[in-house]
Amino acid sequence: MARPLSMDLRERAMARLAAGESVRAVAAALSISPSSVVKWSQRLQTTGSAAPGRIGGYVPPKIAGAHRDWLIERIRASAFTLRGLVAELAERGLSVDYRTVWKFVHREGLSFKKNCAGQRTGSARRRPQAGAMAGLPEQD
């Protein structure tokens, strides 16, 4: 996983920028990208420090609480499509995308196959052999 660049480097970059050097000159002198210098300066202006922010962390699921309960009942009640569920959740005030609903359905174990048998086609050697065709004339 990537790690943030050191505070020493950030402070040197901000000091050079404050002294009047251009962003590209600071970036070239310190062997970093110009976008890093710009982002650090923006962070310095907004928060008062060029220190890195948090990396990673737990993101709670968007479909939770009353929306989760409603969605489980809705899925068990009748057939559904994921895009249809996205639209129904939007009507209820929860804006989620297709992938979020897909992950929820699979995490809860509520997915199903569309075919009525629910099985794949078996291999030819496992099927019983086809019988003779009745009603066809014999060939010589």
Mean pLDDT across the stretch 79-97?
92
Give the predicted TM-score (pTM) of the model: 0.48
* 119: pLDDT strictly greater than 80: no
Confidence at 138, pLDDT banded by 50, 70, 90: low
Break the chain into its structural domains and give their ranges.
7-47, 66-107
Indicate the average pLDDT of the chain.
Answer: 85
Q: Is the pLDDT of residue 131 over 90?
A: no
SS (H, E, C) the chain: CCCCCCHHHHHHHHHHHHCCCCHHHHHHHHCCCHHHHHHHHHHHHHHCCCCCCCCCCCCCCCCCCHHHHHHHHHHHHCCCCHHHHHHHHHHCCCCCCHHHHHHHHHHCCCCCCCCCCCCCCCCHHHCCCCCCCCCCCCCC
More confident residue, 17 or 135: 17
Give the pLDDT of residue 120: 54
Who has greater pLDDT, 130 or 60? 60
